[in-house]
């Protein structure tokens, strides 16, 4: 019989893991998921836990919040009056705190420098260990900025034989010793806490590596365009459905910028912004892209967070274009304030953001998704036009329709010999993979309807 509090504890710890890291868990710690305790409760995993994914833990993507929540449930499970969660850093070897509770005074970051014998002991301990004044130096040094005598129990956190951190528990409420049952409970939870820390570190290093690569490209300005196109292809390699998406969004954004009369530098900025708009998706769990049904709230949040993560990545890079970071953050904002992450309204969004929002929506409509079929060009143009001005900027949508019309016209009558050089050298707006099977007349209808809607039928004389 599993005590109810213990079950609750395990469920709470599963939440962040399942919602954010299930794929990584399978990859890096299959032994944990193969634990009989876990596999004996599939109905809980599938229905209760996933259904219970509340905004608090599912949204807890930053380590400090997840660590604090994990610490709280572990302390409650074994009636610890104080405790702290530490992560392990290899060079130099040390434990540094990421959450603490129940102490009257605690440093902002508590640190235990570790000697090889401490690392060895933490790696080799068969599970949670009681520590006393005379035993604490087996696992912890006395040279940190807190004293090891505050703790009564040390729980090494390991993933696949690697030391990830340690959970240190202080006195129990009432002053009694940690029982064998207490140690077992904490020992069963430890792999999940270790995995949460480990996965967070993986995600952070992915973010950091992506930013480093971008900085490298930024240092060689002459190769911007090709290099960013290569980068866009890397972002899109996340799933079959995304293949070519960022490249096409860059292409359409630049095309619309031209139609809006922006200068060549601004057109270049729009191309780069389109290439990079989804860069935050490098950290999104791969299975979410291929899920054949609608995303649940946790998965949706993880997907939506690509805007914030992407913004964090590009904000560390010195681009020759000032609008890239805000495009990355705000390309899912909508004119009526229904978008994310900041619920901006149309007048709070810059023109580059509005352009990439339209290009992104247009390409998504023309792309197959696991849960829906792609639209035809005519359907996408009509849908896009109907979304303005409530969701998308009307001028920007019109610039897309102008470029589509140019494609449609030049398909019907290729440029004559006496056409201007600009006309003769014009590249099609549409990606070559999309057949331009819409007539100029159909586009004229859409433009006329759009104008009618945005001016409420009034005609202005100029
Ligand atoms: Fe996006």
Q: Give the C-alpha distances (Å, rounded to integers) separating 146 from 98, 150, 243, 311, 449.
A: 14, 8, 51, 36, 70
Q: Which of 67-76, 313-322, 329-338, 408-417 has the lowest mean pLDDT?
A: 408-417
pLDDT recorded at residue 28: 35
Identify whether 211 is part of a domain.
Answer: no
pTM to 2 decimal places? 0.61
User: Are 272 and 371 part of one and the same domain?
Assistant: yes
Question: How far is the centre of ligand 1, averaged over its atoms, from the C-alpha of 332 (Å)?
Answer: 6
361 alpha carbon – ligand 1 mean position (Å)? 9
Say whether both 169 and 231 belong to one domain.
no
Q: Indicate if 197 and 265 belong to the same structural domain.
A: no
What pLDDT sits at residue 458?
59
Asked whether residue 206 is domain-assigned, the answer is no
Distance of CA 199 from the midpoint of ligand 1 (Å): 23
Burial string for 130-146 (b: 16+ CB within 10 Å, else e) reads bbeeeebebbbbeebeb
Give the CATH number of the domain where residue 77 resides.
Answer: 3.30.450.40
Q: What is the pLDDT of residue 147?
A: 85
What's the CA-to-centroid distance between 160 and ligand 1, angstroms? Answer: 34
pLDDT at 417: 66
Whether 244 and 367 share a structural domain: yes
**What span, in angstroms and rounded, lies between the C-alpha atoms of 54 and 58?**
6
Residue range 265-281: average pLDDT? 92
Residue that finishes a domain, picked among 174, 201, 228: 201
- How many domains does the structure of the chain reveal? 2
What's the pLDDT at 420?
66
Identify the weakest region by mean pLDDT among 59-73, 272-286, 404-418, 437-451.
59-73
Average pLDDT over residues 289-299: 84
Question: How many angstroms is it from 359 CA to the middle of ligand 1?
Answer: 11
pLDDT tens digits, one per residue of 147-177: 888 899 999 999 888 899 999 999 998 888 9
For residue 262, what pLDDT band results from cuts at 50, 70 and 90? Answer: very high
78 or 18: whose pLDDT is higher? Answer: 78
Both 341 and 241 in one domain: the answer is yes
Q: What is the CA(392)–ligand 1 centre distance, in A?
A: 15
Residue 32's pLDDT band (boundaries 50, 70, 90)? very low
CA of 303 to the centre of ligand 1 (A): 8
CATH code at position 330:
1.10.3210.10
Residue 421 within any structural domain of the chain: yes
- Same-domain status, 152 and 252: no
> Does one domain contain both 191 and 233?
no
The CA 21 to ligand 1 mean position distance, Å, reads 20
- The pLDDT value recorded for residue 273 is 95
226 and 190 both lie in a single domain: no
Asked if residue 314 belongs to a domain, the reply is: yes
Sign of the dihedral through C-alpha 369, 372, 376, 381 = negative
Mean pLDDT on 14-28: 38
Task: State both tokens at 379.
Answer: 């359907």
Residue 91 lies in a domain: yes
Q: Are residues 439 and 328 in the same domain?
A: yes
Task: Grade residue 286 by pLDDT with cuts at 50, 70 and 90.
Answer: confident
Domain assignment present for 209: no
Q: What is the pLDDT of residue 14?
A: 42
Q: How far apart are CA 157 and CA 186, in angstroms?
A: 11
- Domain end: 150, 174, 201, which one? 201
32 with 74, same domain: the answer is yes
* Rounded mean pLDDT, 324-341: 97
Last residue of a domain, one of 147, 174, 201: 201
Instruction: Identify the domain containing residue 296 by its residue range.
Output: 220-454
Please tell me the distance between residue 311's alpha carbon and the centre of ligand 1 in angstroms: 11
- Mean pLDDT of the chain, nearest integer: 80
Q: How do strand 111-113 and strand 129-130 relate by DSSP bridges?
A: unpaired
- The answer to which of 87-101, 202-216, 218-232 has the lowest mean pLDDT is 218-232
Q: Are 63 and 194 in contact (CB under 8 A)?
A: no
CB-count exposure of residue 187 (10 Å: 0-12, 13-18, 19+): middle
Distance from the alpha carbon of residue 328 to the mean position of ligand 1, in angstroms? 8
pLDDT of residue 170: 93
SS (H, E, C) 81-128: CCEEEEEEECCCCEEEEEEEECCCCCCCCCEEECCHHHHHHHHHCCCC
Q: For residue 460, is it within any domain?
A: no
Cα 364 to ligand 1 centroid, rounded to whole Å: 10
In this predicted structure, the answer to whether residue 368 has a pLDDT above a threshold of 70 is yes
Same domain, 174 and 298: no
Q: What's the mean pLDDT in 37-58?
A: 31
Give the HSE-up count for residue 303: Cα atoms under 13 Å, Cβ half-sphere: 15
Whether residue 225 is found in the same domain as residue 188: no
Residues with CB under 5 A from ligand 1 (ion): 278
- Tell me, yes or no, whether 207 lies in a domain: no
Rounded Cα distance between 281 and 360, Å, is 14
How far, in Å, from the CA of 234 to the mean position of ligand 1?
Answer: 15
> Which of 19-33, 310-324, 422-436 has the weakest average pLDDT?
19-33
Share of the chain above pLDDT 70, in %: 81
């Amino acid at each position: 019989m599993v005590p109810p509090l213990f079950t609750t504890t395990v469920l709470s710890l599963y939440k962040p893991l399942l919602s954010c890291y299930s794929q990584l868990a399978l990859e890096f710690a299959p032994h944990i998921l193969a634990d009989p305790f876990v596999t004996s409760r599939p109905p809980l995993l599938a229905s209760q836990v996933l259904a219970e994914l509340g905004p608090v833990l599912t949204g807890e993507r930053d380590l400090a919040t997840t660590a604090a929540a994990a610490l709280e449930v572990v302390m409650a499970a074994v009636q610890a009056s104080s405790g702290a969660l530490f992560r392990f850093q290899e060079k130099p070897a040390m434990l540094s705190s990421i959450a603490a509770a129940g102490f009257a005074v605690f440093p902002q970051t508590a640190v235990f420098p570790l000697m090889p014998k401490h690392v060895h002991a933490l790696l080799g301990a068969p599970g949670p260990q009681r520590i006393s004044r005379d035993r604490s130096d087996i696992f912890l040094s006395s040279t940190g900025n807190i004293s090891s005598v505050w703790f009564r129990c040390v729980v090494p956190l390991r993933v696949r034989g690697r030391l990830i951190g340690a959970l240190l528990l202080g006195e129990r409420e009432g002053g009694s010793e940690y029982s064998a049952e207490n140690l077992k409970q904490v020992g069963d939870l430890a792999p999940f806490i270790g995995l949460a820390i480990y996965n967070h570190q993986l995600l952070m290093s992915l973010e950091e590596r992506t930013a480093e690569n971008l900085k490298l490209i930024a240092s060689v300005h002459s190769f911007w365009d090709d290099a960013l196109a290569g980068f866009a292809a890397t972002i899109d390699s996340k799933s079959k459905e995304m293949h070519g998406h960022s490249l096409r969004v860059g292409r359409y954004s630049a095309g619309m910028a031209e139609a809006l009369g922006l200068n060549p530098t601004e057109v270049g900025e729009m191309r780069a912004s389109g290439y990079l708009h989804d860069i935050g998706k490098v950290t999104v769990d791969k299975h979410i892209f291929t899920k054949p049904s609608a995303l649940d709230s946790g998965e949706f949040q993880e997907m939506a967070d690509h805007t914030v993560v992407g913004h964090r990545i590009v904000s560390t890079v010195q681009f020759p274009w000032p609008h890239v970071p805000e495009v990355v953050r705000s390309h899912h904002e909508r004119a009526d304030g229904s978008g994310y992450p900041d619920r901006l309204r149309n007048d709070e969004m810059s023109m580059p953001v509005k352009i990439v929002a339209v290009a992104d929506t247009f390409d998504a409509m023309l792309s197959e998704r696991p849960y829906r079929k792609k639209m035809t060009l005519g359907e996408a143009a009509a849908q896009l036009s109907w979304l303005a001005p409530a969701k998308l900027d009307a001028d920007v949508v019109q610039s897309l329709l102008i470029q589509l019309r140019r494609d449609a016209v030049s398909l019907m009558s290729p440029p004559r010999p006496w056409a201007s050089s600009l006309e003769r050298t014009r590249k099609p707006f549409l990606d070559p993979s999309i057949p331009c099977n819409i007539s100029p007349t159909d586009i004229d209808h859409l433009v006329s309807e759009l104008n009618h809607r945005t001016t409420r039928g009034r005609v202005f004389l100029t």
